[in-house]
Structure 1
Amino acid sequence: MLSQLVKEQAGLCAYTLKQIVHRDGKWQAHIEHILPRSQHDADSSVSWTNLLACVPQPGGACEYGAVRKSAYDPAQNPFVSPTMRGLAVHFRFRENGEIEGLTPEAVDTSAPGVLNLNHIALVNDRGAKILSALGRRPSAAAARRRAEELRKPDRSGNMEPYCEAVAQVLEVYAIRLERKAARIGGAKRR
């Protein structure tokens, strides 16, 4: 079942977008219940639509993501589920790797007491991926192409870690370059 979830999620943790690694014949992840089993009946808590693959592996220690969420109940509290469409309207990623909640539910979801998505380890990992993408100083068109590529699985069905964070930042970067070019072009015509 875990293998199916990992495949369905393109090899990424549903909450953190970290890559789920397959090592020594097993996935370094566990099955997460969006609605906690401790607070919901078996029919709803073990439904396929309630299951996600998340890091770390069973029994692993972690200060963010599913381990942090624990028994937090999205049925009773504000929460942005990774199974929702249009997640980009709820979160904005910054160049330094931080995530910002744009809706009240997203603010609660990313908070230290729920998923702790601004944990220093996640911020540093996301920031490094973003810095690598921007470090090449792509043109606006190249940044937009790369952002589009990041939102599609590769040939093996996997996506790059933190793909949405990098894609969002590349799009903002492209907009800045395009606006700068328009200002310079407008000034030259005068």
Structure 2
Amino acid sequence: MTGRLAVRDLPLPGLKRVERQRLGDHRGFLSRLFCAETLEAAGWRKPLAQINQTLTRERGTVRGLHYQKPPAAEIKLVMCLKGAIWDVAVDVRRGSSTFLHHHGEILSEENGYALLIPEGFAHGFQALTADVELLYCHSAPHAPDLEAGLNVADPRLALPWPLPVTGLSVRDAGQALLTPDFEGVVL
């Protein structure tokens, strides 16, 4: 384990699980959330542009599936600070051998896992508990004009949401289904 973060490869090329080690005693703990040296070796090769926190109040709520198109494509590090989520990444990289494949992981305050999501992946999650708090690290600033997304109920993706999907935003519910000519993003 380097720098209190262990990085594990996942089935989709470039997607990683980051396991945070907690050092603690009777007073509490310390957990490293970001380490440039360790994450650079895992594929984070851009500056840290933003850190955002989200709160999702209701169990079952789904947020996503979001990504930014080049030149604002971003690397994300997503971690759960309170509660638990099923976090999912979908490969939208044109020409990828795993194009439109997904991988999901449970991230929780107990397991200390984070998902390192490379450029060219759509990201979303479902709250498995109430009052979920997430922390996101982004390699690029938010660019509303380059936002894109996938429909969470798209049959072509066949995502196995653990709970009935609830709480979609207007934007997320309105994402179009994929058409046969969708070729993904070129990075």
TM-score range, shorter chain: under 0.3
The structure where strand makes up a greater share of residues is: 2
The structure where helix makes up a greater share of residues is: 1
TM-score by length of 2: 0.26
State which structure, 1 or 2, has the greater radius of gyration over its C-alpha atoms: 1
